[in-house]
Chain A
């Protein structure tokens, strides 16, 4: 049973560029959440998708957008990249009824984005 798969694992982009990160949820899960983890910090909630709609959002600017597809996979898009966007981006999947419960979330290994 595959867990959460994220791609790519590493990425280097230039300031001002746009980037798309991808996440395939664990089999059977229908909800995908995205997190940004800066070096030496805990993950910060970006947003959550369920039924192809953004359901909740953290304190991130509109440069951060996402999408969920009918197969529950998801993309995170970041426009006009800043140096401060350099971080590990984590994706977590769950079932909607498990929202908030730690044991129901499965995390991917993350995509490490470096903006130069």
Chain B
């Protein structure tokens, strides 16, 4: 089984709608990072969460870390076509253990 599971695996959302992506760890979370990946591009670092209860926002994206649930969520408000891509979470370890990924499609 995967150490980091993301849900849903894929998501199709109408432009302007809100959405949430979850990342659940099988082990205690000491830190979690979120990336975005688009075809033909490298991984773009979005946010880093370092402690339980931490919440960070950048533009219309908010990430939270629930240490007790061993889970992090990424919430996008009023989605836009530019939000489309693959979202990846990863652990704060040296080998950069990544989640399984969530493919987000935005439809007009």
Name the contact of A40 in the complex, choosing from B33, B45, B48, B101 (C-beta under 8 A): B101
Tally A residues with Cβ within 8 Å of B: 27
B68 within 8 A of A: no
Once bound together, how far apart are the Cα atoms of A90 and B37, in whole Å? 11
Interface string of B93-107 (1 = CB under 8 A from A): 111111111010000
Chain A residues with Cβ under 8 A from B93's Cβ? 100
Determine chain A's interface SS by DSSP, over half rule. Answer: loop
Instruction: Mark the stretch among A41-49, A61-69, A76-84 that contacts chain B.
Output: A41-49
Name the contact of A105 in the complex, choosing from B4, B88, B96, B103 (C-beta under 8 A): B96
Q: Which of A13-59 contact B (CB under 8 A)?
A: 33, 35, 40-45, 48, 56, 58
Closest to B49 in A: A102
Closest to B46 in A: A102
Tally B residues with Cβ within 8 Å of A: 24
Once bound together, how far apart are the Cα atoms of A44 and B88, in whole Å? 12
A87 within 8 A of B: no
Closest to A106 in B: B42
B99 in contact with A102 (CB, 8 Å): no
Separation in Å of the B48 CB from the closest CB of chain A?
A: 5
Closest to A112 in B: B40
Interface residues of A (CB under 8 A from B): 3-4, 9, 33, 35, 40-45, 48, 56, 58, 90, 92, 99-103, 105-110
Interface residues of B (CB under 8 A from A): 4, 6, 9, 33, 35, 40-43, 45, 48, 88, 90, 92-101, 103
